[in-house]
Structure 1
Amino acid sequence: MTLRQVLDGLRWYVREFTGEAAYDRYCDRHRRNRPGAPVPTRREYEQLRIQHRETHPSSRCC
């Protein structure tokens, strides 16, 4: 492995861990499904995600 490959792998891991990649995937999907509609900011995305998690509990015990 080259240093570049190691750094790319580390970057991928950090982006997945922090949720940055999920936001990017959401933005891509939003642009495909709603062309012309404004893309939510990262803060708006996080609020929507929290709201969805609270209204659709799946694996929480309490």
Structure 2
Amino acid sequence: MRSAFRRAVSGVRWYVRELTDESAYERYVAHVRKEHPEAAVPDRRAFERMRTERQENDPRQGFRCC
């Protein structure tokens, strides 16, 4: 019973992290380490800054007032 509960909690945690894109940094780090092992991996703050700038500069995102 306890293991089923843990699996359910783990599944909900995974779903929420994917829904909120909290796991984007971990996916990015895994990608960089696999595809570009010689490249330096930015810290989370630099990654979030790059991601935000890319989203704000993307013309497909439309108008953002704030």
Q: Which TM-score tier does this pair reach, normalised by the shorter chain?
A: 0.7 to 0.9
2:55–2:61 CA contact under 8 A, matched in 1: no
Structure 2 unaligned regions, length at least 5: none
Aligned to 1:43: 45
Give the deviation of 1:45 after TM superposition: 0.5
Q: How many residues align?
A: 61
Q: TM-score, normalised by structure 1?
A: 0.78
* Pairwise CA RMSD: 1.8
Q: Which has the higher contact order (CA 8 A, sep 6+)?
A: 1
2:17–2:23 CA contact under 8 A, matched in 1: yes
**Residues of 2 paired with 1:8 and 1:41: CA distance?**
26
Give the deviation of 1:36 after TM superposition: 2.2
Q: Higher Cα Rg: structure 1 or 2? A: 2
